[in-house]
Amino acid sequence: MESKLCIVTGATDGIGRVTAQALAERGAEVVLVGRNAAKGAEVGKAIRRSSCNDRVRFEQADLSSQTEIRALADRLTAGGAAIDVLVNNVGALFMRRRESADGIEMTFALNHLGYFLLTGLLLERLHANGGGRIVNVASEAHRGAQMDLEDPQGTRRYRGWRAYQRSKLANVLFTYRLAALLAGTPVTANCLHPGFVASRFGHNNGWPFVAALKVMMRLSAIDMEAGARTSVHLATSADVAGVSGRYFDECREAASSLASHDEDAGRRLWEMSETLTGHRY
Ligand SMILES: NC(=O)c1ccc[n+]([C@@H]2O[C@H](COP(=O)([O-])OP(=O)(O)OC[C@H]3O[C@@H](n4cnc5c(N)ncnc54)[C@H](OP(=O)(O)O)[C@@H]3O)[C@@H](O)[C@H]2O)c1
């Protein structure tokens, strides 16, 4: 990975941080993206030290804000460097409905539109080195969900877990349509389930919810190293060179839900995402 430039979003904690660490240990140049500048500086320093790799830096951006995503993409593309790996990892669960700075429901804005817009803005650079890899961190939570394309932002009735499930289904639908768009080019796009991982996921919600989640994590979650394994596999392994448009679990190709293969839903989601972000691929 020594000649590779890798970008990992949501890299100041959890699965993203461990993914960034693993890529740095393999010698890649790594850009950590996160919203908290002080934490990002600290995590960047810790990864540089523990990986013995100086080519690790932090870029601050709130990835629920389209203005900040555009500014981030401008900074990342400014030098004209090729991007080899983009790991769209950022994600969160919001049990109460909130809106982003752009007035978009937060789960949809951060977990789906953030992936859609950042990838679109970096796509040219992902083509530059003869074949970049796009890795979208989805979830088994997508199973059992259907997109509500009449009310994707839950304005009529918002349920946090359902919104999260739909956002993860959107990750899979986005990956499949993106891979179809990229067919015939050397750029690949895949998505994955990291496992149920003991991270800070969900900790932005109220204490009773967090307490229950912590118990569940203690009982059945895997650690963050195991949780990052499939992301790292898709970002680095020769086994998946040229593989695109697939869903992975435990580093193996797996079947995603029937709803994730609904091409009409994928097309409508894509068109809606273009309208909401103002970005055309
Ligand atoms: N944990 C699981 O069991 C599990 C299962 C399936 C899928 N996933 C998926 O895995 C991915 C990573 O989750 P995780 O478990 O590692 O979660 P986590 O521990 O909560 O880490 C989330 C990361 O995203 C960052 N972040 C959150 N909101 C942001 C924003 N608006 N702008 C920029 N960065 C932001 C956080 O920054 P701070 O450090 O500032 O908080 C942190 O670095 C998500 O896409 C999630 O849906 C997780």
Q: In this structure, what CATH number is given to the domain that contains residue 35?
A: 3.40.50.720
Segment 250-263, tens digit of pLDDT: 999 999 999 999 99
Give bridge partners of residue 193 from the DSSP assignment.
249
Can you give the pTM of this predicted structure? 0.98
CB atoms within 10 A of CB 177: 20
In short, whether 39's Cβ falls inside 6 Å of ligand 1 is yes
Segment 110-166, tens digit of pLDDT: 999 999 999 999 999 999 988 899 999 999 999 999 999 999 999 999 999 999 999
Distance 90 CA to ligand 1 centre (A): 5
**Cα angle value 177/180/183 (rounded, 5°):** 155
Query: What own/partner pairs with CB < 8 Å and gap ≥ 24 does 237-243 have?
Result: 240/133, 240/188, 240/190, 242/186, 242/188, 243/188, 243/190
Nearest CA to ligand 1 atom 8: 139
CB 237 within 8 A of CB 85: no
- Calpha distance 116→109 (Å, rounded): 10
Domain containing 128 equals 5-277
Measured from the Cα of 168, ligand 1's closest atom is 47
Find the catalytic residue in 164, 176, 247, 281.
164
How many structural domains comprise the chain? Answer: 1
- Calpha distance 136→115 (Å, rounded): 8
The pLDDT of residue 134 is 98
Measured from the Cα of 202, ligand 1's closest atom is 20
Nearest CA to ligand 1 atom 7: 139
Measured from the Cα of 65, ligand 1's closest atom is 31
- Calpha distance 104→113 (Å, rounded): 10
164 noted as active-site residue: yes
The pLDDT of residue 130 is 86
CB 240 within 8 A of CB 234: yes
- Calpha distance 88→90 (Å, rounded): 6
Distance 119 CA to ligand 1 centre (A): 17
User: For residue 78, what pLDDT band results from cuts at 50, 70 and 90?
Assistant: very high
Segment 18-56, tens digit of pLDDT: 999 999 999 999 999 999 999 999 999 999 999 999 999
The pLDDT of residue 217 is 95
- Calpha distance 144→104 (Å, rounded): 24
CB 63 within 8 A of CB 35: yes
Exposure of 280 by Cβ count < 10 A (0-12 exposed, 13-18 middle, 19+ buried)? exposed
Segment 153-203, tens digit of pLDDT: 999 999 999 999 999 999 999 999 999 999 999 999 999 999 999 999 999
The pLDDT of residue 17 is 98
